[in-house]
Amino acid sequence: MPTCAAFPRLTATIAALSCAVAASVTSGCGGVATRSPLQDLVSRRTVPGAAELSQDAHGEVRFAAAGVSDLRTGRGIGLTDRFRAGSVTKTVVATVTLQLAAEHRLNVDDPVTEHLPPGTAATLARARYGRSVTVRQLLTHTSGLFSYTDDGTFRRDFFGRGFAAHRFVSHSPEALVRTALAHPPYAPPGARYRYSNTDYLLLGMVIRQVTGHSYAVEALRRVIAPLRLSGTSFPGTRTTLPSPHGRAYSASGPGPAGDVTELNPSAAGAAGEMISTLPDLNHFFQALLSGALLPPSQLRAMLDTRATGGRYGMGVFPVRLPCRRTVWGHNGEINGSYVQTLATADGRHLVSYRVNSDSRLPPQTEARLLREEFCD
């Protein structure tokens, strides 16, 4: 969240890091100086800092950083720095939902109105096509429901000139769903893929209705605590980041630096509020894709992209590389932060990379980073 399209734009301990770099030129482990594509993500005017953490299929781990995490102090980005992970939240929410399906507490082909609070269920049922939307269609972004982040007023207040006045405003999921349903749907349910943050906002409400606990509590119990993801949290309405952390920058932010580090993430909710670290994201995706979090049938369903023409599964999407390899993961974008985690289907080879800005990254640079990581 709030990406408009969610496709390409560790178990090993930190002590096992084989190459740690914080410079514009990366020295390979063999001592040969090469320019890292990570440095090309950094821009003096728009992207102050970037970092990546990778683990190859042999368990070799590498961390690299470029630029700064704080324009005022010049501090570099640290390995365990917390940051807002945006739509990577969706992968965790999808995992919890599929765990509930495996426990027979819901069926992914159930109409979602059967698993929503009565008020929201009635509101959705009155909307065009609302009664027909299934849990599966929310997971795969084929519900056709309008994304509340496409609403003009919301975009102005959260991403545009209204940000300074609205950055600390709390938003309830019910109100955000009403914002979405005030607009006509993009398409009938199941007709086509269209990324919508409303889908995962509703899945967060489904988790509460089915379990009696918030998606944040269930994610903590089912994912974060078992995997010991010590840097991952769901802030709710908390406006600050846990330490250690750098700053986050955006063109929509106040002042010349555009600092947007503090904000109320309830505007993202189950679609994108999560805070995490690079090691935690790698550990989570490694556990997920290796089968540690889902039974085989649910993991196969997560990676099934037939409903979207190959574009999206359930909380993950494929990226097809020029070397004919396909990697799986998700990206996340929110004010002042962009991150992407991708891994081979077995979860053995992964990379997470991030920048402390929401400025669009050069597609060719991201492509080179992935090519060098997974192909070369």
- Cβ of 72: how many Cβ atoms within 10 Å? 9
Which of 233, 292, 310 has the alpha carbon at shortest distance from 265? 233
Which of 287, 307, 291 has the alpha carbon at shortest distance from 299? 291
3-state percent breakdown (helix, strand, coil) of the chain, nearest 5: 35, 20, 45
Query: What angle is formed at CA 273 by the lines to CA 183 and CA 125, rounded to 5 degrees?
Result: 30
Place of tokens 């398409």: 187
- Cβ of 302: how many Cβ atoms within 10 Å? 24
Taking the alpha carbons of 280, 137, 98, 177 in that order, is the dihedral positive or negative? positive
Which of 87, 31, 99, 43 has the alpha carbon at shortest distance from 68? 43
State the catalytic residue, choosing from 36, 54, 69, 87: 87
Q: Which helix (H) or strand (E) holds 55?
A: strand 49-55
Assess whether 87 carries a catalytic annotation: yes
Cβ(20)–Cβ(27) below 8 Å: no
Catalytic machinery residues: 87
